[in-house]
Amino acid sequence: MSESPNGAATPASIVEALKAVAGRPTNVRASFAKGWCVRGTYTPSDKAGNVTRSRSFTRPSRVLARFSVGGGNPDVADTNRQVLRGFSFRLGNEAHRSDILTQSAPVHFARTLEQMLAFLEARIPPLNEARIAAFSSANPETLNQADYVAARQLPGSFAGTTYWGVHAFPATSTNGETRFIKFKVAPVGDDFTLTEQEADTMPADFLHHDLKGRIATGDARLNVMALLDRPGDPVMDVTVRWPDEDSREEVRLGTIVITAFEPNEACDASIFDPVNLADGIGHPPDEIFAARRTGYAISLAKRR
């Protein structure tokens, strides 16, 4: 693995590199800068307790959530095929709160902080295609996310997109059994995508307009799923998927219904903190997750 030429990677250096790649916009998130805050409700399934005893997932609650478009540019067009879509949501109450972050690809673009920093530094403007190609050749796993996105059509709706939590979470059931799960958030109904020709006719903010229409008709519904582990699944490397991930056993934990937009300040005043997990869902063991809390706090401080 190639190391960063600028020294050891830290959450602070990652945030700085994310901002540099995006051209250093001010007062916005370092990643998934463009987004809309929404609210809704969560209703658990009768099988949620078989996976986790977490009261966030086994009890009904209000939901605060944010749909977003990837990258650090708040003006990115919704028709940009190279960036992810994101869905962050908060379940439960203050005593049993869980924040879950998901994205429209099942893998992250780096395995370690050092690799993540080097990936970003290779893409700081002015772009040098030879530098990017050399890094990618030495770190082929960093292409897994981009390859996944490139193989799929453009998402045509925030509420019609499947989102993934790239980390493996230890989950403890009501019976006391602990196993690893991955979160998957899927639309109630099929994914909705656009052809290249359809995408060419869409305005820059079409995802917002689509979401507005779906909320008005009660059609913004997403199932929160848990993918169940098997012996030998990789739980430390977020650049690779579990074997047969698309066809393996999964359990519906519950359903989120988005009912209204919230002022963006409701989501921007704080962060969806991935380490906020109610008892029954543990912290993933990988290096990227361990750095998220500090990185998100630094990003919040910078945009304030």
Say if CB 127 and CB 106 are below 8 A apart. Answer: no
Residue with tokens 């099929």: 190
Predicted confidence at residue 7, as pLDDT, reads 58
Angle at which helices 287-303 and 11-21 cross, to 10°: 60
> Mean pLDDT lowest for which of 110-114, 125-129, 271-275, 296-300?
296-300
CATH code of the domain occupying 11-303: 2.40.180.10
In percent, the amount of the chain with pLDDT more than 90 equals 92
Instruction: Name the residue with higher pLDDT: 301 or 61.
Output: 61
Is pLDDT of 5 > 70? no
**Which residues, at least 6 apart from 195, have a Cβ–Cβ distance to it below 8 Å?**
153
Q: What is the pLDDT of residues 35-82, one digit of tens each?
A: 999 999 999 999 999 999 999 999 999 999 999 999 999 999 999 999
Predicted confidence at residue 264, as pLDDT, reads 95
**Which residues, at least 6 apart from 226, have a Cβ–Cβ distance to it below 8 Å?**
51, 52, 171, 181, 182, 183, 184, 250, 251, 253
Q: What is the pLDDT of residues 90-102, one digit of tens each?
A: 999 989 999 999 9
Cα 53 from chain centroid (whole Å)? 23
Is pLDDT of 1 > 50? no
Beta strand spans in the chain (E): 34-44, 61-69, 85-91, 98-103, 154-155, 163-164, 169-172, 178-187, 193-194, 221-228, 250-261
Give the DSSP H or E segment for 67: strand 61-69
Predicted confidence at residue 187, as pLDDT, reads 98
